[in-house]
Structure 1
Amino acid sequence: MAFSTTMLAWSVLDFGDFMGPDLPHALEAIKWATDYFLKATSIPGFVFVQVGDPYGDHNCWERPEDMDTPRIPYAASKQFPGSEVSAEIAAALAASSMVFRSSNPAYSARLLKRAAMVFEFADANRGSYNDTLGPWVCPFYCDFSGYEDELIWGAAWLYKATKAPNYWSYIVQNISDLEKNAAEHTDRVGYGGGSFAEFGWDTKNAGINILVSKLLLSNNTSDVGPFIPNADKFVCTVLPESPTVYVSYSPGGLLFKPGGSNLQHATALSFLLLAYARYLNQSNREIHCGNVVATPARLIQFARGQVDYILGTNPLKMSYMVGYGSKFPRKIHHRGSSLPSVDQHPASINCQGGAPYFQSNDPNPNLLIGAVVGGPDKEDSYSDSRADFVHTEPTTYINAPLVGLLAYFRSHPPL
C-alpha cells in the first residue's frame, strides 16, 4: 500500500501537468492513503502495518461488506522492528507532502512532519518485520531484499521534500552498503542482473538511483557517485537490444521477470525509464550499453510499447485493464468483483458462502473498471480464470506506476 502511494505521488509530481481533469482523482486517491497512514502512525513508537489475520482472510471468499474475520492489528515497534514497511510509509508521506504543497499547505506540512518522525523510528529501530512479525505478515508479503533499500529510499524522498543536508548525508553514507547488503540476499531473490536492476514493492534500488540521479542532474553536480552509473546500468538491463539485457521478453514483446503478477514489472520499470528519459533530455545525455546507444527517445519508445501491449497491442488483441477495449479479463481474482452486490443479494454471504461464485465459470458480475491484472504468461497466452491468481489478480502496485505513464502518453502521441 505504501509503495503504491509513493508511486502515485511520484506520478503526480512528474506527470501531473498531463493529467488534466483526472488530476483531482489522483490527489483524492493519494489522500485516501495518506489519511490512513497518519492514523497508522499516530501513536509515537508504533507503526501499524497490517490489520487482519491473513490466513483467515485468504480462507474466505466474501464481500467486504460481509467480512467477519478477525481484525487483529499488527504494529512495528522498538520491540518488533519493521524498518522496511516503516521507511516505505515515510517515503509515501514525504512524496505526498510535495503533491499537496500548493493546494493544501497545512496538510502538506503535517505529512512531511510525520514522514520525518516515521523515518527516524525506522532508522533508530532497525530490523525486518520478517523476523518480528513474520508469522503473521510474511506468508503473503515477505521482505526478500532486506530493509536497507527502504531506508535510503525514504531518506531520498525526505531530501527531495526538504533539501535538508542530513538526509543527503544519510544517502551518501549508506549507499555503499546497499549492494553489499543486497548480496547477502542474492540466493533468496535471484539478483541475476545486480540489485541495481531491481524495482518494485519489495526492492527499491533502481528507483533510488533514478530518483537521486534526477536531483544530481538538476543540480548539475560533477559528483555523481554511484547513482547515475547505476541508473544507466539499470537501463541497459532492460532494453532488449542491449548486450547486458537481463530481463526476458514474450514473443509479443512483453517484459518478464521472475515471480507472479508480472505486469508489476512492466509498469514499474517502464515508469522508471520514462522518468529517466525526461531527466536525460533536460541534461542532454544519452546512455551507452556497450556499443548500443540508448537515447531518451528510445527509452520513451520502449515504455510506450509496454503500455500499448497492456492496453491491447498484443497477440491476443486483449486489454489487460478491466473495462478498457472490447476484450478484457472477465473473471478476475477479486472478491468484490466476483460476488453479487448487496443490491442484487441483500442477504449476507458467509466465509465459505462465496465458494460457488469463486468456482463459477460465469463472468464477474461487477466490473472493477481500470484494474490491471497480473497479465499473460511468457508465451502471450492468458487463462481467464479466477483460480489462476498469478495472472488474474489485480494489484494496486501494478496500477500505480501506470497512472504516470498513461498521463504522459495521453499528452504525447507517437511521433
Structure 2
Amino acid sequence: PLEWMLKCHTGPNELYVQVGDGGQDHGFWGRPEDMTMSRPAYKITASRPGSDIAAEYAAAFAVSYLVFKEKDPEFATKLLTHAKQLYDFAVHHKARYSDSVNQAAAYYRSDKYEDELTWGAAWLYRVTNDTKYLSWAEQFYITGPDWGQSWDDKYSGNMILLYNMTGKDIYKNDIEATFNDWMPGGSIPYSPKGMAFRSQWGALRYASNMAFMALLAADVGIHPDEYRHWARTQIGYALGDSGRSFVVGFGTNPPKRPHHRSSSCPSRPSPCSFADQQQPGPNPHTLYGALVGGPNGNDQYTDDRKDYVSNEVACDYNAGFQSAVAGLKHLKL
C-alpha cells in the first residue's frame, strides 16, 4: 500500500487522490478485476489543493518511517522525504480536497482540513523533532471534545499525540472531555447490551475507533484502568459479548452476507452481477475478519447483503477495530 501511495505523489504539489467515479463504480456489482469501464483518476495541485488529504498522506508516510527506519532505512528515508513535501504542499496551499475534486464530494466530503494539518505536523514532529512541525500542529489544533475518530476526524488522535509530546493540560482536558461524552452517563446513548451508539451508519466503526483511542490515551497515563475497561466492553460487543459476532468468519453466528461485491460472487467461470447481490444465501466466499457496520441503537441487526448501512464493510471500519484488538491482546485483557 505504501508503494502505491508513493506512486500517487507525482510531484511536490501534485497528488492523485481518487481512482474511479463513485456513481459508475456503485453501478457495478462484480469482481474488481472485471471492472473494465473507464475509471478516471483525480488529483490535487497547487491551483486545486487539498490540505486534508495531503496532510493525511504526510502523516501516513511519517508513521511508516518509524516502522521501516531500521529494517529498510532507504525506503524509510524515501517515505520521510515524501512526507515533508506533502506537508509543505498541505500547509502552503490550503483547501478541502473535496472542494477541489468534485467527484469526491458525493461520497467522502471533507468537513475541515485543520485537524489533518495538526495530524500530519504532529507525526512529523514525532519523527524529526523539528519544532516548526510542533508549531504548526499547535497552531491548527481545534480544542474541545471529539465527535469520534474517523476518516474525516483526527481530533482524538491529535489530543493524544500532542499530550504525549508536550504534557500540556489543554490536550489532557480535551481527552477527558471526549471520553466523558463517550462513556456511560455522557451525551452518547448506549444500546441495551452496551454499545456506544454514535451513528447508525457503521455504528461499530465509531465504537471500535474510540476503543482504540481509549487504549492509546490509557498508554499515556490518562485513567488507564477505566479507559482500558471501557475499550474492552466495546470490542467485546463486536466480537460476541452481545450474543452474536459482527466479524465475518469469527465467533458465534457471524455475518454471512456482508455488503461486499467480490465475496458475494460465485467462483469462476460463473458470471457475477446484481443478481448475486439479491440472492438470499450466504456469500460464496468468507471475508474473514471483516467488521460489518452493525446494529441499530436497540441492538437490532439483520444479516442482509442489500442493507449497506448495517452490513457494509470498509477499510476504515477495520482499522480502529483491529488496532484495538491488538492493543487488548498486548495488555492480555
Q: Give the TM-score of the pair, scaled to structure 2.
A: 0.96
2:333 is the counterpart of 1:333: no
In 2, distance between residues paired with 1:259 and 1:319? 18
Which residue does 1:249 correspond to in 2? Answer: 190
For 2:2, the equivalent position in structure 1 comes to: 34
Partner Cα separation in structure 2 for residue 395 and residue 236 of structure 1: 28
User: Match of 1:91?
Assistant: 59
Alignment: residue pair count:
333
Deviations 1:1-38 (A, max 9, x none): xxxxxxxxxxxxxxxxxxxxxxxxxxxxxxxx211110
Whose relative contact order is higher, 1 or 2, with alpha carbons under 8 Å and at least 6 apart?
1
**Contact 2:200–2:310 (CA under 8 A) maintained in structure 1:** no
User: Which residue in 2 is equivalent to 1:296?
Assistant: 224
Indicate conservation of the 8 Å contact 2:205/2:321, yes or no. Answer: no
- Displacement of 1:81 in angstroms is 1.2
Distance 1:195 1:75, change over 3 A: farther
Aligned partner of 1:50 in structure 2 is: 18
Question: Given the alignment, which residue of 198, 203, 212 partners 1:262?
Answer: 203
Give 1:82 deviation, angstroms: 1.2
What is the 5 A alignment of 1:217-366?
217=167, 224=168, 226-241=170-185, 245-280=186-221, 295-314=223-242, 317-341=243-267, 345-346=268-269, 349=271, 354-366=273-285
Pairing 1:57-96 to 2, within 5 Å after superposition = 57-96=25-64
Matched residue SS, 1:76: strand
Say whether the 8 Å CA contact 1:197–1:233 is kept in structure 2.
no
Aligned twin of 1:209:
159
Corresponding residue of 1:141: 108
Partner of 1:115: 83
Q: Is the 8 A contact 2:58 2:120 kept in 1?
A: yes
Q: 1:126 to 1:195 in 2, by over 3 A?
A: farther
Find the aligned partners of 1:395 and 1:264 in 2 and give their Cα distance: 9
Consecutive unaligned residues in structure 1, runs of 5 or more: 1-32, 180-193, 218-223, 281-285, 287-294
1-structure distance, mates of 2:203, 2:4: 28
Instruction: Return the offset for 1:403.
Output: 2.2
Higher mean alpha-carbon deviation, 52-61 vs 404-413, is at: 404-413
- Distance in 2 between the 1:393 and 1:174 partners? 33
Q: CA deviation at 1:323?
A: 0.6
User: Deviation digits for residues 116-154 of structure 1, max 9, x if unmatched?
Assistant: 1011111111111222212x11111111x2111111111
* Maintained 8 Å contact 1:373/1:392: yes
Secondary structure, in 3 states, of the residue corresponding to 1:227? helix
Q: 1:373 aligns with which of 292, 300, 304?
A: 292
How far off its partner does 1:165 sit? 0.8
**Map 1:123-138 → 2, pairs under 5 A:** 123-134=91-102, 136-138=103-105
**Per-residue deviation, 1:200:** 1.0
Tell me if structure 2 keeps the 8 A contact 1:52–1:69: no
Indicate which of 191, 197, 200 corresponds to 2:150. Answer: 200
Q: Deviations over 1:287-334 (max 9, x none)?
A: xxxxxxxx31111000011111100000xx211111101410011100
For the 8 Å contact 1:251–1:379, the answer to whether it is kept is yes
Q: Distance in 2 between matches of 1:311 and 1:196?
A: 25
Give deviations 1:245-265, integer Å, cap 9, x for gaps: 122110000011135111111
Structure 1 residues 109 and 82: CA distance shift in structure 2, 3 A: same
- For 1:79, give the aligned amino acid: S
Could you say which residue in structure 2 is the equivalent of 1:157?
123
- Structure 1 residue 174 displacement after superposition: 2.7
- Structure 1 CA distance, aligned partners of 2:149 and 2:70? 30
State the distance in 1 between where 2:197 and 2:295 align.
Answer: 10
Please state whether the residue corresponding to 1:256 is helix, strand or coil.
Answer: coil
Residues 237 and 246, structure 1, Cα contact 8 Å, conserved in 2: yes
Amino acid at match of 2:277: F
Q: 1:278 to 1:72 in 2, by over 3 A?
A: same
Deviations 1:156-205 (A, max 9, x none): 11111111111011122232xx35xxxxxxxxxxxxxx553432110111
Gaps of 5+ in 2: none
CA separation in 2, counterparts of 1:200 and 1:385?
25
Question: Normalising to structure 1: TM-score of the pair?
Answer: 0.77
Paired amino acid for 1:354: S
